[in-house]
């Protein structure tokens, strides 16, 4: 039941993001989606630093993913009186959520690659992708020797894939 609740709210948030990208901003479905999602996103948006991109949907989706994984397991352990399992559950869910975030950023890197190949025709998408990949590639660029700085995008993508593989191996070892 908890998973269904967070899945429903996640679908509302994703619908709002899609409506924003396609320019759909009228009608009863939009009013419902915007009204419900704004109650969730506004408090998060107020706490985030200023940016060209509204990161509140991503933050909320990460929190919903964590809560949908954590709460059912934690409640089951608590009802069974297995309080010692709570730390284990928290550790497992944190790793699982980090794995989901890493997967999301791998997808962002793939989309950025194809967006760059097509000539960056969609300004909104290009701005989002640059803002999402920029911090990691900038840090990797600083680490790489001078002759290899042009490969910072690819090195960043490889790092993300390696982190994802390591997290998945840790998770499956439980």
Band (pLDDT 50/70/90 cuts) for residue 169 is very high
Nearest to 10 by CA among 61, 45, 74: 61
Where does residue 172 fall: left (phi above 0), alpha (psi -120 to 50 degrees), or beta otherwise? alpha
Helices (H), 23-151: 28-47, 56-79, 85-117, 123-143
Would you say 161 and 106 are in contact if contact means Cβ atoms under 8 Å apart? yes
CA atoms within 13 A on the CB side of 78: 7
Q: Is 16 exposed, middle or buried (0-12, 13-18, 19+ CB in 10 A)?
A: buried
Altogether, the residues listed in the chain come to a count of: 174
Would you say 131 and 108 are in contact if contact means Cβ atoms under 8 Å apart? no
C-alpha 28/C-alpha 26 separation (Å) is 7
For 56-107, the pLDDT digits (tens) are: 999 999 999 999 989 988 888 888 888 778 888 888 899 999 999 999 999 9
pLDDT averaged over the chain?
88
C-alpha 22/C-alpha 113 separation (Å) is 22
Q: What is the pTM of this model?
A: 0.77
């Amino acid at each position: 039941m908890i998973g269904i609740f967070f899945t429903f709210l996640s679908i509302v948030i994703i619908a709002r993001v899609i409506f924003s990208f396609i320019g759909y901003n009228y009608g009863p479905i939009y009013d419902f989606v915007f009204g419900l999602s704004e109650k969730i996103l506004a408090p998060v948006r107020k706490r985030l630093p200023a940016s060209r991109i509204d990161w509140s949907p991503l933050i909320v989706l990460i929190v919903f993913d964590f809560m949908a994984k954590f709460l059912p397991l934690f409640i089951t352990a608590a009802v069974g009186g297995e309080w010692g399992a709570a730390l284990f559950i928290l550790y497992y869910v944190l790793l699982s959520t980090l794995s989901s975030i890493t997967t999301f950023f791998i997808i962002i890197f793939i989309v950025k690659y194809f967006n760059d190949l097509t000539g960056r025709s969609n300004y909104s998408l290009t701005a989002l992708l640059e803002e999402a990949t920029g911090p990691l590639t900038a840090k990797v660029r600083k680490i790489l020797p001078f002759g290899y700085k042009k490969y910072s995008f690819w090195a960043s993508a490889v790092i993300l894939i390696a982190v994802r593989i390591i997290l998945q191996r840790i998770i499956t070892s439980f």
